[in-house]
Structure 1
């Protein structure tokens, strides 16, 4: 790596340390105990896919975009999330709060790195934190429909958006992407994470995931949040990022928001530009510390092929939101 790339890499690592790692990776263990493969381990598709942190983060944005097409998820965010700004009375304003968005992204990155590369106890711990928060998210939409983040049908949909977003971003923007049956290994392995969050009857291949997403179409709509986050009037570079996210969506989802793919040549050129940016950042930053620590943890072999999530549906204690945040701070 030449000197400019070394300097940029050091800057990116310092920023990740300052903004993400020191706040959201507390209490996680990646280096010990020796021989513990965690939930996946060496040779797994998950280790390969999540090792490209920049593509992983982009994939999470893709998932979040599809999620906003579900009115229940939109109102979950308005009622319970710090993603949006609030007035003096605490009522949600449909405008993204940059600080809240940064916190949400930090927790998401920590969760998908922790479950991929953390030891068994770390994977269990971060999953328990997310489950506990889900238990507090229940309410009623303005149209009278109720929502519950523990609802198995909702969990299945939410799981499908996440695995689709990450896997599709990997297919398009990873320099050595898994395809076909190898990519289906990722879908199959990742089910462990969905089960740990309380999901049941989860899709385990790319085709099953697409079918699951499409089956939810009658319940979807162009929510206010999705409408505000798209469109040709967005400023650069936001519009370029927005296009790349919409480009990963299934055809029916693009139709729902009025997105039309450009001609194949222009589409390839746009993807090449985004590919260069994502992989340029990855080349400069290098492989994450957590991945390298996990590799060293099992360098002399593993104690088993992998461990499985131990969560049993309904076994969590019921905690208030402030209790959850205090427990996992």
Structure 2
């Protein structure tokens, strides 16, 4: 794949919700974020019983792992780097996509709903925590106290594009730790959780087929990413999920990944080239930031300003009729959910195949 040219990059409409100089751009633009950080987040998420029930119910990670990974990574990158209209549209259509992920819990009593605020808060915090953790472990290191406060405030801003409340997002490291401690008794490594975690640790499933001569190198990269991701997971979590890795590998992978990411970060075009192999649809989102291409309007908006300007509803209040119809179809009528949201999402989140 050829290196991307500046003339081929479409500028965003505005800076979205963070912009140059923000700690979000500093952390999320480092190559640890959309690799180890993102992989860690989707693996750890599966320990939440309602969330993994939704994942298992749709079977997307098994039927189409590359496109599912690509679309999910594109969404998170959009929130960090895309224009405000694009982000509002993506958040709106994601509510429709999640409306089909409803059903009865396979283990225990109760139901699950991917739009449930508690599940969305879990996704939000595991995602942002994992991105920061990978940056600290394999990147430049810890943020300053002021930067960390800004980071978690930004996480609350980004939560406005989920169905959870930004008021529930902790604003410091201690609050984040307390949240995960509260969640720990609720986590479960059920058979479907272990299956999903093992599956999502296989980075080779999201990479395009390599030519015969490049397959050994591709497998080495996938293996290194798996080792690096597992090394970020606490021991209790690995034991819960049945994931084994020696302490020696945990230690040895750190200098390897730090050097590799630092080398990749020397060239924005090389970073984009590597991203194109992992998540082709995310390149257009990240390229303007990486190549220093200013948006058409150099402004940063709040979520409320963006919704008012572009005519979108808060995700928590969006498409309530569709969500109710999906619940009725699945829980009362015993029918498969409508694919309406999934089909509509392709223009915004990328193709399904």
The TM tier, using the shorter chain, reads: 0.7 to 0.9
Q: Secondary structure at the match of 1:222?
A: coil
8 Å contact from structure 1 (residues 76, 147) kept in 2: yes
1:150 Cα shift? 2.1
Task: Return the TM-score normalized by structure 1.
Answer: 0.74
Tell me, yes or no, if structure 1 residue 212 matches structure 2 residue 212: no
The separation in 1 between residues aligned to 2:87 and 2:55, in whole angstroms, is 25
- 1:308 is matched with 303
The separation in 2 between residues aligned to 1:161 and 1:321, in whole angstroms, is 29
- 1:72 is matched with 50
- 2:341 is matched with 324
Tell me, yes or no, if structure 1 residue 108 matches structure 2 residue 86: no
The separation in 1 between residues aligned to 2:134 and 2:95, in whole angstroms, is 25
Q: Secondary structure at the match of 1:147?
A: strand
| Deviation readout 1:98-121 (Å, 9 max, x if unpaired) | xx1111111122112222221110
| Deviation readout 1:199-257 (Å, 9 max, x if unpaired) | 111223232222212211111122324534459xx997455433321222245424423
- 1:6 is matched with none
| Deviation readout 1:65-94 (Å, 9 max, x if unpaired) | 111112222221111131124xxxxxxxxx
| Deviation readout 1:164-183 (Å, 9 max, x if unpaired) | 11111111222466344313
Which of 89, 93, 97 lines up with 1:129 in the alignment?
93
Structure 1 runs not aligned, ≥5 long: 1-9, 15-28, 86-99
Structure 2 runs not aligned, ≥5 long: 205-218, 273-285, 308-312, 323-336, 347-353
The separation in 2 between residues aligned to 1:118 and 1:163, in whole angstroms, is 17
1:293–1:182 CA distance, 2 compared to 1 (3 A): same
The separation in 2 between residues aligned to 1:103 and 1:226, in whole angstroms, is 20
- 1:221 is matched with 188
1:53 Cα shift? 4.3
1:302 Cα shift? 3.6
- 1:31 is matched with 11
- Residue pairs, 1:156-171, within 5 angstroms: 156-171=121-136
| Deviation readout 1:32-65 (Å, 9 max, x if unpaired) | 44xx331112211111122124532321110111
- 2:350 is matched with none
Task: Return the TM-score normalized by structure 2.
Answer: 0.69
Tell me, yes or no, if structure 1 residue 186 matches structure 2 residue 151: yes
8 Å contact from structure 1 (residues 139, 148) kept in 2: yes
Q: Secondary structure at the match of 2:120?
A: helix
The structure carrying a bigger helix percent of its residues is 2
Which of 275, 279, 287 lines up with 2:258 in the alignment?
275
- 2:294 is matched with 296
* Farther off after superposition, 62-71 or 248-257: 248-257
Q: Secondary structure at the match of 1:113?
A: helix
The separation in 2 between residues aligned to 1:292 and 1:70, in whole angstroms, is 34
The separation in 1 between residues aligned to 2:319 and 2:158, in whole angstroms, is 16
Q: Secondary structure at the match of 1:296?
A: coil
The separation in 2 between residues aligned to 1:30 and 1:155, in whole angstroms, is 31
The separation in 1 between residues aligned to 2:345 and 2:224, in whole angstroms, is 36
| Deviation readout 1:141-171 (Å, 9 max, x if unpaired) | 2233311122222222222111111111111
The separation in 2 between residues aligned to 1:180 and 1:84, in whole angstroms, is 40
Q: How many positions carry a matched residue from both structures?
A: 284
8 Å contact from structure 1 (residues 138, 149) kept in 2: yes
The separation in 1 between residues aligned to 2:250 and 2:72, in whole angstroms, is 29
The separation in 2 between residues aligned to 1:240 and 1:293, in whole angstroms, is 28
